[in-house]
Chains A and B, each alone.
Chain A
């Protein structure tokens, strides 16, 4: 079942007199439960596409259906609502709030949720999530007291607090060493496998992309022909990231 469908999406930036087309007509679809890598060199339009997919920006033209809803023409408030309900974000630089405990980091998005969740229910859910990412004993630690991998895991728990069907990871391992990278990628795989969460990994690193079952390559504002599903065959989910990295 389709979660995302893009239909001829274009994005053009206006720099003074100059029109700079960045996306030149992207059409793609992503099904529920997929683990997709979005790849491309810098300047390829990868980030722009990610912003549009993540409802942070709106396309110049074209249609974008997310979870059955046309979101390309939503106002910024409407996009904020969609982001809150349907999308979780994990960033390269973790983006945790300074001097704030892990538990509060995770409950933070609930501030903007209209779901009927009481304060204590929210805390329970945040605790469960932190335990699931293996930080049950560090709930009251502040970011400065956590390692990079732990910080990223807090960020993952935060992205999952609203049970979004879609998780965006923008270079999630960019600031981590290879061992913690492996752990984090394993965690994505597990979430995808066990929870059925659709995950889009944005990366320029083919080793990271190899974790995914399918890769979408962008170059020069278009999806490269024949880019679908050519790297992930043969990788069972049991495969350790170490092997992935080596391959």
Chain B
């Protein structure tokens, strides 16, 4: 033990004796480790940025769709059973920790009229204010509608850039009333331009309104009483469009009403209304599987599904986008590892080079140490410890420099770089390992010297 301590001190003394050379020798490792740390931290920042921009495409989004109906082995396809309710949305927001935000979606359709212009939007969506957050969409002018509007199915909407162009031209749309399927809605906001989606569809060709408005005022009326809708063209404050008619379909009886006994035999939760789908966003791409699990368990519980019973809903994730995200991150990581490897090998060879020179230069010293009783192992350890200390010192300096570089990048470019503890731990271990690998050969060479010849060496 004491011998080990003394060997260590001897190594330190030898390094101190040649402090300038020790520092210069370190530089290879310093640069290598600094590069690794800086690249990993900056790279993390870059992948965070990339992840963010890919996430803005909706990579973290999960779409909850209602299940399918089947009769006699014939499936009716997606959405043929309406099982999702606005209360499901509330429950998801309340109970799923991995879900950042969730919003219901109700789809409508129809003609939009303003003044002497008309247009049929690709999409009329009824939802809550949270929807913009899920879609990562900003308001360009005006403001979003409010929760208050959702509660009392306010006659407001926000429109996409395409609608603005087609209906208003150069006119200012905020505050104007447009008529959507003959229901007058006030434009409170204009969405920012989003452009085409991945398949070329124009995403800006849409109208977003409170889901209650779409459900009860627009599509509901379309289904139940087309005739009355067309008749009451004034729309805006007509009796037809109030909340009095809470169940627009109640007039149409497709099936005989269940008797009281039937109702008592098959108790069912009272379901006020359905939504077409629920769109949610996970907190991060890593939490997507967790979010899916939590949504499944919440919905199964709410829908009273027994063990073994199939889900009456489906959850879709954006696998394609996710794959892009992971492959991008992987690419960045691989590049970093290659750069790190090369610079560390270069640094290691530098250390080996200097250690070989040092062994040659100190042949007499080695001979002397052997003459006074140093064994081969002592000499081996002395030089090995020197190499390891050099590498570790280089590693520590490199970590400091790399941190400095990443802080500088953070200050100047305001990229979100972050301290990477695994990278720091790994670089310390890697530099020690490099010290051992590249220090071993010179140390072994020193330990194999013949004391007689070493003493005579000039």
Contact = CB atoms under 8 A, between A and B. Distances in A.
A99 interface: yes
B300 interface: no
B196 interface: no
Interface string B370-384: 111111111000000
B374 A100 contact: no
Contact of A114 (B3, B372, B376, B455): B3
Contact of A56 (B365, B371, B375, B378): B371
Given A89-B371, A91-B455, A158-B372, 19 more contacts: A76-B376, A77-B375, A80-B375, A83-B370, A83-B372, A84-B372, A95-B367, A95-B455, A97-B365, A99-B17, A100-B13, A100-B17, A111-B7, A111-B10, A111-B369, A112-B3, A112-B374, A112-B378, A159-B372
12 contacts: A54-B371, A80-B370, A81-B375, A83-B372, A84-B373, A97-B368, A100-B13, A110-B6, A111-B6, A111-B378, A112-B369, A112-B378
Contacts of A80: 370, 373-376
Contacts of B3: 111-112, 114
B364 interface: yes
A95 B364 contact: yes
B451 interface: yes
B372 to A, nearest CB: 4
Given A95-B368, A97-B365, A51 B373 contact: no
A145 interface: no
Nearest to B451: A56
Interface in A63-86: 76-77, 80-81, 83-85
A22 to B, nearest CB: 13
A207 B373 CA distance: 31
B456 to A, nearest CB: 9
A104 interface: yes
Interface residues of B, number: 23
B446 to A, nearest CB: 14
Nearest to A158: B372
A95 B365 CA distance: 7
Interface string A142-159: 000000000000000011
A38 to B, nearest CB: 16
B17 A109 contact: no
A57 B454 CA distance: 13
Nearest to A159: B372
Contacts of B10: 108, 111
Contacts of A56: 371, 451-452
A60 interface: no
B449 to A, nearest CB: 11
A98 interface: yes
A106 to B, nearest CB: 11
A77 B452 contact: no
A51 B452 contact: yes
A172 B188 CA distance: 104
A113 interface: yes
